[in-house]
Amino acid sequence: MGVVHAEGRARRGADAEAAHERLRAVVPRAHADPLPAEDLGDVVGMDALEGERDERAALGGIGRPVQRDAVDRAQSLEEVATLAKHAKASPFTRVFNRAVQFLSQTKPALAASSERTARLSGSQVEALRLVLDAETNAERDSISRFVPSLATIGSVSPLIGLLGTVLGVISAFTGIATQGSGNISAVAPGIGEALIATAAALAVAIPAVFGYNIFANRVNRLDSELEGFGSELIALMVREGRI
């Protein structure tokens, strides 16, 4: 047994030394001296990892949805435009693109001077605010187009269940009149139909009401965020001296 263990340790040592030699060809010359086995994995690929980290830091929020905090941190409108160009499509990017379209089509009413650049007048800023509000309302209507359907289902389903209950009770009384007695076999079918109709209506109405409240709350929150996004855009233009 001792010989077998010794041979196993010798083979493992040879494999580790071979792996060490292969990795030394990849490790930079600054690490030419033999390194412990547990440190070799940390050195290989470190340059690539640092390069990826530097690239992410340079790009900032590119690739993520443009939101209000991105505009708040931005130093210029061009920086936000770069983020919006590489970001995922969202209501925020569409509102921003509409603002950029308005600025490209509007000539500043206040001419440039030696102390400042050309600026938008108060009426033009008000027009920009109206354009942003219109785009915000359009995005809200697009997102919430199915929410009224949930409200309709949640309010109509109990009435349909009540109708089924009434029809089931009528069927029960009809059974009593047909058989001439009020035993269980006469009223059970009608009562069963009434209970089934009530249960089915509640099974539809309860999830619809929950869904309506959840989605309506999200739509209201998004509407507030879009309004704040438009305000931050105007504030950024003020910081840039465009207004």
* Residue pLDDT, tens place only, 154-178: 999 999 999 999 998 898 888 888 8
Q: Indicate the residue type of 176.
A: I
Q: pTM here? A: 0.60
pLDDT of residue 76: 76
Is the confidence at residue 5, as pLDDT, over 70? no
pLDDT digits (tens, 9 = 90+) for 105-142: 888 877 777 777 778 888 888 999 999 999 999 999 99
Residue % of the chain over a pLDDT of 90: 24
Q: Residue 20 contacts by C-beta under 8 Å, 6 or more apart in sequence?
A: 34, 37, 40
Using alpha carbons, select from 214, 194, 209 the residue that is nearest to residue 156: 209
Per-residue CA distances from 80 to 30, 83, 193 (Å): 41, 5, 62
pLDDT in tens, 208-225: 999 999 999 999 999 999
Tell me the pLDDT of the chain averaged across its residues: 74
**What letter would DSSP give residue 69?**
H
Which of these ranges, 18-27, 48-57, 84-93, 155-164, has the smallest mean pLDDT? Answer: 48-57
76-79-80-82 Cα dihedral, nearest 10 degrees = 160
Please provide the DSSP assignment of 146-187 as one string.
THHHHHHHHHHHHHHHHHHHHHHHHHHHHHHHHHTS--HHHH
pLDDT reported for residue 1: 45
